[in-house]
Amino acid sequence: MVSSQPKYELIQEVGRGSYGVVYEASVRRTGVRVAVKKIRCHSPENVELALREFWALSSIQSQHPNVIHLKECVLQRDALAQRMSHGSGSSLYLELVETSLKGEIAFDARSAYYLWFVMDFCDGGDMNAYLLSRKPSRKTNTSFMLQLGSALAFLHRNQIIHRDLKPDNILISQGRTAAGSPEPTLKVADFGLSKVCSASGLNPEEPASVNKCFLSTACGTDFYMAPEVWEGHYTAKADIFALGVIIWAMVERITFVDVGTQKELLGSYVQHGEEIMELHIPARKKSMNPGMKQLIREMLSANPQERPDAFELELRLVRIACRELDWDT
Catalytic hit among 120, 126, 164, 168: 164
In the chain, the amino acid numbered 117 is F
* Phi, psi dihedrals of residue 108, rounded to the nearest 5°: -65, 110
Q: What angle do CA 15, 16, 22 make, to 5 degrees?
A: 55
Contacts of 21 (CB under 8 A, 6+ apart): 13, 15, 37, 38
Give how far Cα 104 sits from Cα of 48, 62, 98, 99, 109, Å. 11, 34, 8, 5, 11
Residue 110 carries which DSSP code? T
CB 152 within 8 A of CB 314: yes
In the annotated binding site for ATP, the residues are: 38
CB 281 within 8 A of CB 288: yes
Q: Does 328 participate in catalysis according to the annotation? A: no
Residues marked as catalytic: 164
